[in-house]
A = this chain, B = another copy of it.
Amino acid sequence: MSHEISVSAGATFGVNGWSNERCSLMPMTATSPLSDLLMLMGCEPDAAVHDAGLSVPLWQVRSGAALLLEGACSSHVYVVRTGTFKCIKIAEDGYEQVLAFAGQGEVLAFEALCGEPQRMGAVALEDSSVYALPVRELDSWRRQSRRFDHVLHVALSRQLTRAGQMTELMAAVSSDVRLARFIMWWSNRMAERGQSPRRLLLRMSRRDIASLLGVAHETVSRSFSTFVDQGLLRVDNREIEILDPVGLKACTRNTRGFSDDTLQRGSPAGRSGTLRQRAGADQTPTALAH
């Protein structure tokens, strides 16, 4: 059992300078019935889930510990049960690029499915726990449980959806819009798991957010303040409350340059400055005088 600690866990220590202090990876040898995992992924509990007696290793990861090491090969695919992770990539110059934040139900180390090395590292942002699915036994498990097989597909499909959401976040031109989208995204995630979509506890630093959104961390801080000034948000360090969900959602739109304070949100604001429209209709015939 203890050999389960495997490469990714063992390599965690002493490689990135995390080693000391209480950043410890605790691969609790506890296991959980497969049905627990299935329920986490959305299966109905009533559905007589015959888990074929299979039990899934359950790992605990303390805040700050690395679950995955960039470049290493993982022998497991993980599904987050509780907690939050940040997925990162370290550039040659040492810059830590955040690529995603992963929460309950998300798949980590999917690269292990086709035996490729991990494309990103993963660090716990709070005390967390993950289901550890040994790749070597995945096929066997899938054959023993049709439901598990299906759940795995659903999990991958959803993970792709989430990756697309990340793209949407970052494609906004204005930094305010990016942050607004990020907050709404996090809010929706909270709602998905039955928590309040208005009172949020961000588990990551401003710098992490900034890295993900591709802006300076001071800009993130300033955008927060802007929203507070507009009465959309209440911010206390990493604890934020959405005061005006409609107004915040309006900030989600890809507009640029409505910084002239005037909070005319609420209804109209039909003014969508200069948005690139589809071909047709709206184009004013440019007088092609020459």
Contacts and interface: CB of A to CB of B under 8 A. Distances in A.
B93 A253 contact: yes
Contact of A99 (B164, B216, B262): B164
A275 B93 contact: yes
A110 B278 CA distance: 26
Interface in A206-228: 207, 211-217
A214 B173 contact: yes
Given A114-B154, A157-B110, A97 B171 contact: yes
B99 A167 contact: yes
Contacts of A153: 113-114, 156
Question: Which of A157, A211, A217 has the largest number of chain B CB atoms within 10 A?
Answer: A157
A120 B164 CA distance: 9
A156 B163 contact: no
A192 to B, nearest CB: 14
Nearest to A90: B278
A263 B93 CA distance: 8
A93 B215 CA distance: 25
Given A95-B254, A277-B94, A89 B168 contact: yes
Contact of A171 (B211, B259, B278): B211
Contact of A164 (B119, B161, B254): B119
Question: Which of A94, A153, A272, A276 has the largest number of chain B CB atoms within 10 A?
Answer: A94
A158 interface: yes
Contacts of A96: 276, 278
Interface in A63-115: 89-100, 110-111, 113-114
Q: Which of the four size classes fits the interface of chain A?
A: 35 or more
Q: Count identical subunits in the complex.
A: 2
A39 interface: no
B214 A280 contact: no
Contacts of A211: 171, 276
Given A153-B114, A157-B110, A167 B100 contact: yes
Interface in A164-215: 164, 166-168, 170-173, 207, 211-215
A160 interface: yes
A31 B277 CA distance: 38
A266 interface: no
B171 A99 contact: yes
A14 interface: no
Contacts of A163: 160, 163-164, 166-167
A159 interface: yes
Question: Which of A110, A154, A211, A217 has the largest number of chain B CB atoms within 10 A?
Answer: A110
